[in-house]
Structure 1
């Protein structure tokens, strides 16, 4: 703790604070942002993309667990103790003049932050330069006594004198992943120079973290995280919107989609939907107030329905039948007993040899594909016949989320392997990750606590503007 306090004091940069009441904008129109996968454009092969995604899931599930952290070796590709929270990126600009930033859309956290200069210890963010607060005429550090400083769990007083001392923060994601910096306000520009000018441009003053020490494992094409959680300092909360939505294009594509904060009902996006809109209640958990929970009743593998058993202990009962929906998690994780029941059904119904220890993979439910036949046409006919997999459905309160094959099955034809993309986790919590949310328009109705979803061509959502 002494080392942390010293860091907080060292990194504070005294810049005059400008009090603004317009940190929220009730009644304003919808804000739109372009959305792309973090690995888009990196030229990675499909097996490598899945391997990276599986390793992220191993780390991410420790972040969302309220149980004591699991002490276990971290799989290859991650720094020791690292938590990876990056998957899909939103692009916007900060400051005057506006400087571009690329932030992970994360419904599992609240703080909005980006890396800033001077940088004491930062990750490589590729071609985008560090945000320089000294270069923005609208930047203002938050003083120690201001409400935003008092609202965050870990803050300290930095440089300056008397009441003008600035607010330094430390925001933890778990297992040594942390951003430390100055809490500040500045103008955020949404939509500028995106998609050939098709997105409406809006500027709003927001509170954010200007990070000078940022530890963890991050992509080289992101600069920070945009928290979309329920907390006070998340992006939806600061913009005072009653709804937001996103639609994740395939991890194997480089196409962009759309994030909207505010706006109308899912019906206005019907041109992009390829199936019916369903809805289910959004639940709250007082012990994890920033997260979004759904009521998970059962999981079906083919025609076999596997009920989600309730915890016998009354005070923990709600946790067994609730699932976190998380845009920052890559792969859906299930409690170990539920995972084993789902795995057993896939093994029984797929009819191919189960293989373990697939090189470079963190996935556990993998099957051996039939060997390459003498001609490609014969091989494809055999593969289609022999590699059939049962349907996977998440039964929520009032809705059945039927996952398309591409949202839970991955095939590496060169290696002759087919895997079911699910993972197990200690504890009682199910987490619905973004791989299972691909090609699905997901709408969070915060006013009525409802989540709506529909299968969609996500790249077509921009046409609704």
Structure 2
């Protein structure tokens, strides 16, 4: 999980509709470890063909594997078959949507002359290549009365796909700020998600275009913080993180550590596609040292490294006390419950509890592990992010 979050951080460093909802649930276990992505369930085409896409607030392209799929990762849910959809059509390279791709060209040969061909590559080695198309998307209606269909949404038909894809996903649903993202294409003013426990299997809803009632089933105070504009990166959602408290001590981390630089680097984003929160090296070291000093347990050297992962040895099946972890944002405070920053597992030598935070580069990433059972609302018009603790499986 730590390695995948670090790879995700490298990936991020590179690069009017009807109210609808979609089901989202944690990815399955792989070799006994939970896949740290949340999968959105919807359908594409007429008749609808189901897809399972990683909910990703850090990117904008919506894409899924498509037949004939010469190079694809194997999934129980097979590739989308465009030939079976009566509403499917390819987009020309002259289309405005094609212009919004980072890398695109005019396809020839089997893809048809003037077809919009895309390459979407990431710093972690993941890549999808295919053609940009449009089709009808089918969602659950937000009022629970049936289904909502939206025609002519642009998406990538991935024919050559490879990289770090290890869950049951068939592609990625970009929820970022870019023109190609699902919220942008639906022209919604807001969207919200509430992630159930990553170690469980219960689903919840993603609401698009319907202001969420954050007070329903909430177990705390609703708080709001501004979304910070970064014109060098129009895809991710940036926040103003001011500081971190461990236990009762506000750590001496300069606010500039988490702030956007004038050249558009650094800053703090909230990201649904990253598992663990990632901090700059200097900030992580202070968090690491504070936990080491305050947790009265021996560091587990077999699973810990000096500055990337911190684990403690504990008596078998014990759940020892750990210090509080609080994130301070502009106008809001996120007091994390233990299960949102510590995780336990058992190995041959006994039990281990680990801090679910990584050391990274200058970009701070608030991951989905820290967002479990937190109802998060993105106000795209007011440029605000609101959140409140909630039992997400009850929403």
What TM-score results when the alignment is normalised by the length of structure 1? Answer: 0.75
**Which residue among 37, 40, 50 is the counterpart of 1:100?**
50
3-state DSSP of counterpart to 2:311:
strand
Query: Would you tell me which structure has more helix in proportion to its own residues?
Result: 1
1:158-307 map, 5 Å: 158-159=107-108, 165-191=114-140, 198=144, 200-205=146-151, 206-264=153-211, 266=212, 268-307=213-252
Note if contact 1:279-1:451 (Cα within 8 Å) is conserved in structure 2. Answer: yes
3-state DSSP of counterpart to 1:212:
strand
Deviation at 1:222, TM superposition (A): 1.1
Deviation at 1:359, TM superposition (A): 8.7
The aligned counterpart of 1:31 is: 20
2: CA distance, partners of 1:177 / 1:199:
38
CA shift digits 1:95-129 (9 cap, x unpaired): 11111011010000000000000111000122x12
The aligned counterpart of 1:57 is: none
3-state DSSP of counterpart to 2:97:
helix
3-state DSSP of counterpart to 2:370:
coil
2: CA distance, partners of 1:220 / 1:421:
20
The aligned counterpart of 2:6 is: none
3-state DSSP of counterpart to 1:354:
coil
The aligned counterpart of 1:423 is: 358
Deviation at 1:252, TM superposition (A): 1.1
Shift of the 217–322 alpha-carbon distance from structure 1 to 2, 3 Å rule, reads closer
**Which residue among 81, 86, 90 is the counterpart of 1:137?**
86
2: CA distance, partners of 1:218 / 1:176:
11
Deviation at 1:150, TM superposition (A): 2.0
CA RMSD of aligned residues (A): 2.6
2: CA distance, partners of 1:200 / 1:243:
21
Shift of the 277–164 alpha-carbon distance from structure 1 to 2, 3 Å rule, reads same
The aligned counterpart of 2:289 is: 344
Note if contact 2:128-2:160 (Cα within 8 Å) is conserved in structure 1. Answer: yes
**Which residue among 382, 400, 406 is the counterpart of 2:339?**
406
What TM-score results when the alignment is normalised by the length of structure 2? Answer: 0.88
**Which residue among 120, 123, 134 is the counterpart of 2:70?**
120
Gaps of 5+ in 1: 1-25, 54-86, 373-379
